[in-house]
Structure formats: C-alpha cells, structure tokens
Structure 1
Amino acid sequence: MKQTYFDTLLQIIRGSDSGEITNTQTLIGNFINQLDFEKKTEDLDCYIFAAALSKQFDFENDTNINLYLQRFEVSQIILFNMLAKHFPLASIASHLANKILEQFIELHDEISILNIGIGTGRQELALINELELNGKLPKKLILFAVEPSDESLSQAKANIQAAAAEKGIELVFHSFCTTAEEMTPETWDFISKSEYPLLVNAAFALHHIRELEEDFYTRNRVIQHIYDLNPLAVIMCEPHVNHNTSSLEERFQNCWRHFKAVFNIINQSELSHEGKTALKLFFRREIEDILGKPENIRTERHELGEKWVERLSLSGFSPVNLDILPDMPMPNGFSVRWNNGYLGLEYEKETLISILVQK
C-alpha cells in the first residue's frame, strides 16, 4: 500500500474534526473514485480502509464499486478452508496455545477446561488429536463451554462429544450460551466447584468485552472472576494492536499498520487474485467495525499484549514462560518470541498476535 494513500486518508480524518462532514464525504468519495482495483493490488487494500471510514461519516460508496466487489463473495465454508490453508496466522496461534495447554494437561489424568468463546470447537478438536498423537490423552475431561451463539455451541458440543467417544475420553460438557461479561455469579460459582484442576482458555474472545468508559473496567472484572477460580493457568490469544481507543486517528494508524501486515501475508500466498481479494474482504468486516461503527457499538476492541499483561497482573496473575519454541517450526516470514510477559507471534518482525500464559 502506498504511503501517500495513508497520508491522504490521515489528512481527511484530521480535517473531519472541523465538523464539515459534507466536505469529508466529498474527499472520501474522490479518494475512492481514483482507485484502480483491477490493476493495482494496493488500491484494493486502500479501498477497504476508505470504505470503512466512509461509514464513520455516513457516506454511501459508489454502487459500481460495490458491484465489482460482489464478484469476489464466496461462502463461509470456502472462506474458512482458504484461511486454514493460505492464511496460517490464526492456525499457528491456535497450535501454539494447544502446545501450551498440552504441557499442563499431560500432568493430570482428570482435567477441567473453561473455554471462553469456544465457537464450534475447532481448537479443542485439534487439541484432542494432538494429545492422542503424543500419548497424553486425559481419562476424564470436564469442559465448561462459553459461547454467545447457540448454533455454534451446539455444534461444538456434538463435535467434541464425538471426538471424546472415539478416543475413549470420559467427557462432561457444560454449555453456557452467553458472553464472558454476562456470566452470572451462579455460573462462576458452579465452575469454581469443579473437583478437578482447571485450565482457562480464551482465544480471540476477551477483546469483544466492551463498556462505554474508556478504561473498560468490565474486562478487569472478568479477569478477576477467572483468577478467583484458582486455575492452573489461563491461556489467551489476542490480536496485538490497540483498537481500544475513542480516537479515530489513533485507531486508523494502528489498524493500517496491523492489517497492512495481514494483507501482506495474503499477497504472499499462492492464491489467485480472486482468492486473495475474497480473503481481504473477509477482514473488511473487522476493519469496518474498527473504523466505521459508532463508538458505543464497536466490538473489535483489540489491545496490545502489554495491556493484557497489566490487566492480568491487577488480579494477581503472573506470566509463565514455557519452553515451547524449539518444537514449533515456523513458515517463511513468521517467528515467535517471549516479550514483556507474552509470546509474540510475528510476521516480518511485526507482532500480530499476543499469546499470554499466566497463573
């Protein structure tokens, strides 16, 4: 992406503070109309940012542009398969988190896991397979699954029950169709009464906790609840970028840097032009939330690893540095390193994901 494009959009954002919304809308429209999606990859990348900003200022984009982008819409299942094969960032983070979980699980025949944001159970299925491969399957697993989507939660339960039955694990599956911040005192108390050692896993979930106050004390309250469970450890994966600020200018600069690296990963993949565009449009939804939605309804409120370390330490947690790096070969351009209390997953020296291990 051209730096001049970044400067132009940043100037438009700074000019919007004058209150001349009509002028801002015109500037964004003119910027979008000069982009050449067919010939220039960086122009499509920049359009995604400009289109997100246009929503911030209640501006409808050119219909022809949206019709062009519709050519690249694909089904969710195809997108997920493309992500798994050609976008290794999330899968590497999940594998690293599972390697950490495995080091705790192997010490216990019976174990409890609280998973906040379990989705459809993809990470747990991979964990069970890895444990079986290494001869470390527990005899009994108590799983407390928290997920706001009832459909995903039901699918997770079915998937994990089938895998546990196949591998001879005694599974007890407790479902909680809710968000972390909406878990009741009774739910926290129920989990605390588990008779087996407890691990807490939260993959790309806690950044969705939101509050109107700038400091987001609700996150600290959820972390305090987790600490009060006295877990063996809490393992978290989070995007390493600060989008938890009311400053649109700051969010734009952070968002540009983070997703510029994400788009670079896609650009270096073996996907066709159409495939690369489809994946970028998948991330467009996150960028639109970060840059286009009003402050009181945004959900993609990512924070830096250092900030999560600070939040965890307030409740009494301390970082655990586990020696897992020699066992993890990385694809070209990727690296991992312990840094300031978290494991940083990097691409071309830009930290994109923080993996925290605390107890």
Structure 2
Amino acid sequence: MQNYPDKFTEESKLEIEALLEHCLDGLGESSEKFLATLFIRAIRKHIGPTTIDEHIYLKRYEVPQIELFNVLIQQFPFVRYSHSIVNQTIADIVQGESTVTILDIGIGQGIQIVNLLERLKRVSGLRKVVVIGVEPFEDALNYAGELINSINYPYNVEFIPVCSFIEAIDFAEIGNMVEAAGGPLIVNESLALHHIQHLNDRHKVIQSVRALNPKAFFLTEPNVDHFEPDFFRRFQNCYNHFYHIFQVIDQLPVGVKEKNGLKLFFGREIEDVIGGSDHERFEKHEPSFRWVEKLTVGGFKMVNGFKGVPDDMGYGIKVDYDAFNGCLGFRFKTETIISLIHAECI
C-alpha cells in the first residue's frame, strides 16, 4: 500500500493477484483472509482488474439487509450496548419532566428512538414527547415514522420528519420547532456526524446545536481516524479497526453465513475509506478526542453521567470512561472501537 496510487508495478500487481488467490481458498473460515479480500476489492480500481472475480466467492455470503440490521441491533455488542447506554442515560435525565423534545440526528429507520420511547414509558409524569428526526434518506425516514406511529404509548408522541443532511438544514427552523414543543431538549446522534464532509461544517453543526441550548447532547462515533489524508496511514488505521471488529464478529452466536454477511456489510465502509478519492469518500470517521475538541470549542463540557453500563459486555470487550478525553470507550484488545460522548452546555 506504500506504492499507492501511482507506483503499482506489474510485479506488485502479480503479488496482489497471488494474495487474492490465497485468500479466496478458505475464505469463509478465516477472518484475515476475508478482510484481505475486502481490501483488495476496495483498491481494484487503482491497481487495475485482477483475473479473479472475488465477487463470485463473496456472493454466497450476501444476506438481506433487514436480516443484517436485526443481527447488528440484537447481537452486535457495539451497536446494542451503545443504544442501550445512551437511552438509559436519557431516560434518567428526563425524570420528572412532563414534556420532552428529542432531536435525533441520523434517525435512520428509527430503531434506537423506538427503543428509547419504550424506555420512557417508565418515566413517571411524562405526558408528551416530540421527536424531530433528521435523516437524508426518505425511505428510511418514512419507515421510522411508520414504526414510531405503530406503537401505543402512555404519553402523546409527535414525530416531525426532516429529510435533509444535518449540515444543510435550517437550524433557525429547528429552533422554532423546539420552542413550540416545549420542555427540555435532548440531542442524540448515532454514527451520523462523520458523514459531514468538511471540518468547517462539522464545527458549524456543533455550534448550531449549542445555540439550541440542549439539556444534553449525545454522540456515538467510531474511534478511528479515516479523515487522515495520507493513504498509507489511513489504510493502516482502517485495517487495524476492522481487524478487531471482525474478531468480535467471529464470536457472535449466529451462523457462518450471517457472520460473513456482516463482514460484507462492513466491506462497503472499507471500500469507501480506501477505495475512493478524497472528495468521493463518505465515511470520514475521526477519533473521539477530536469530537471532544470540537464540542469544547463549540461551548460544551463533557460529562461522565452514563447509566446502564454493563459490568461485562462479553466477547472480551472492556468498557471504561476516559476522563482525559471525556468519553466512554468500548475496547477490544488494543483497539477502542467506538466511543460515546455525553456533553452539556457550558
């Protein structure tokens, strides 16, 4: 990868071809072979096509998207526990409130917010919850609305869909929605802000959220530097990150097809991180300390107030609060895979 992008010789291309052939032999039984195959697939546009079509070998592990989402939500510990911890913490914060407004940035199909609304059933005296869901993909947003409205709650629920990228929305309009809704504002984002392409826009969004004066702002983000402009360092970061994720996937109580289906799912992120040019890339993750820096500059302070943190997540994952960086990290071996940040206005 140190030869990227202009120094791939014919000899190095043959070496990559040989590596691919080696990896495809026993692909389904070896995480490292599967991972290497996904990386080779990601860089094929730069090295030229190989004579082997790896897609033929990978196709048998394709799993319908809805099944993968079910595995991710129910079995994948980084998603399952991050949702649970944030939701429990929000429920604790709003105890005693009669009205609550939740701005959910990147609401997706509404899985986390529905679980939160379920948990809020145990908040005594709660009469109304207003959910402002921001999501750029209309199909997902419609699904979230249908899911929210299909459930009976002991309080009134109002869902306000906003179909837009977060950096493109009119925050003055969001402010009017929040003011009309009443009650304290909780802002939650899960795996969304790293899609903002430019650093200036990331700062602007955080400052715009601060202007709404939320009672709490929660961020859930992968703890890895894929914003790194140097390809070789970004490649190393990406390989190390997904190497550890794949080792956790190997321990899940699901079948081989589902495990490798999840790996294929993450293969799309790998393809984005190292397969595309800088202006094409969408998955521009940043390490947690950089999000904390942006929050601090934007007028927030970090809080160690997480509730419902399990004593043992299983799978060899350790959960600990990093007081220096102000975040709760989910660590597997030497890699902190994902971080949760709880911020309050200064």
What TM-score does the superposition give when structure 2 sets the normalisation length? 0.91
Secondary structure of the residue aligned to 1:298 is coil
| TM alignment of 1:46-195, pairs within 5 A | 46-55=36-45, 57=46, 59-132=48-121, 134-136=122-124, 138-163=126-151, 166-194=152-180, 195=182
What is the identity, as a one-letter code, of the residue corresponding to 1:352?
A: I
Q: Would the alpha carbon gap of residues 141 and 192 (structure 1) be closer, same or farther in structure 2, given more than 3 Å must change?
A: closer
Secondary structure of the residue aligned to 1:352 is strand
Question: In 1, distance between residues paired with 2:249 and 2:60?
Answer: 18
| TM alignment of 1:328-343, pairs within 5 A | 329-339=312-322, 340-343=325-328
Secondary structure of the residue aligned to 2:204 is helix
1:27 deviates by 4.0
Question: In 1, distance between residues paired with 2:63 and 2:6?
Answer: 40
1:20 deviates by 4.6
Which residue in the other structure is 2:284 paired with? 301
Secondary structure of the residue aligned to 1:101 is helix
Q: Would the alpha carbon gap of residues 255 and 136 (structure 1) be closer, same or farther in structure 2, given more than 3 Å must change?
A: farther
Quick check: 268-277 or 110-119, which moved more? 268-277
Q: Give a deviation string over 1:32-61, Cα, whole Å, max 9, x none.
A: 123244265021221112221223x15234
Question: In 2, distance between residues paired with 1:24 and 1:191?
Answer: 57
1:329 deviates by 4.5
In the alignment, structure 1 segments of 5+ residues that lack a partner are 1-12
Given the alignment of the two structures, is residue 254 of structure 1 paired with residue 237 of structure 2, yes or no?
A: yes
1:266 deviates by 1.2
For residue 215 of structure 2, the aligned residue among 232, 235, 256 is 232
Question: In 2, distance between residues paired with 1:292 and 1:137?
Answer: 51
Secondary structure of the residue aligned to 2:224 is coil
Instruction: Confirm or deny: 8 A CA contact 2:84 2:308 kept in the other structure.
Output: no
Q: Would the alpha carbon gap of residues 64 and 50 (structure 1) be closer, same or farther in structure 2, given more than 3 Å must change?
A: closer
What is the identity, as a one-letter code, of the residue corresponding to 1:126?
A: N
Which residue in the other structure is 1:202 paired with? 189
Quick check: 27-36 or 150-159, which moved more? 27-36
1:221 deviates by 0.5
Q: Would the alpha carbon gap of residues 22 and 208 (structure 1) be closer, same or farther in structure 2, given more than 3 Å must change?
A: farther
Quick check: 219-228 or 102-111, which moved more? 102-111
Cα RMSD for the two superposed structures: 2.1
1:102 deviates by 1.2
Which residue in the other structure is 1:347 paired with? 332
Instruction: Confirm or deny: 8 A CA contact 1:138 1:169 kept in the other structure.
Output: yes
Given the alignment of the two structures, is residue 244 of structure 1 paired with residue 230 of structure 2, yes or no?
A: no
Q: Give a deviation string over 1:250-294, Cα, whole Å, max 9, x none.
A: 111111111111100111223333332222111100110001011
What is the identity, as a one-letter code, of the residue corresponding to 1:357?
A: H
For residue 312 of structure 1, the aligned residue among 283, 295, 305 is 295
Instruction: Confirm or deny: 8 A CA contact 1:342 1:355 kept in the other structure.
Output: yes
Secondary structure of the residue aligned to 1:14 is coil
1:89 deviates by 1.6
Quick check: 31-40 or 240-249, which moved more? 31-40
In the alignment, structure 2 segments of 5+ residues that lack a partner are none
Instruction: Confirm or deny: 8 A CA contact 1:111 1:141 kept in the other structure.
Output: yes
Which residue in the other structure is 2:341 paired with? 356
Instruction: Confirm or deny: 8 A CA contact 1:25 1:54 kept in the other structure.
Output: no
Question: In 1, distance between residues paired with 2:5 and 2:153?
Answer: 60
Q: Give a deviation string over 1:159-212, Cα, whole Å, max 9, x none.
A: 11222xx1222122211100111112443442453432101000110000003x
Quick check: 268-277 or 44-53, which moved more? 268-277
| TM alignment of 1:14-29, pairs within 5 A | 14-16=2-4, 19-20=7-8, 25-29=13-17
What is the identity, as a one-letter code, of the residue corresponding to 2:320?
A: R
Secondary structure of the residue aligned to 2:3 is helix
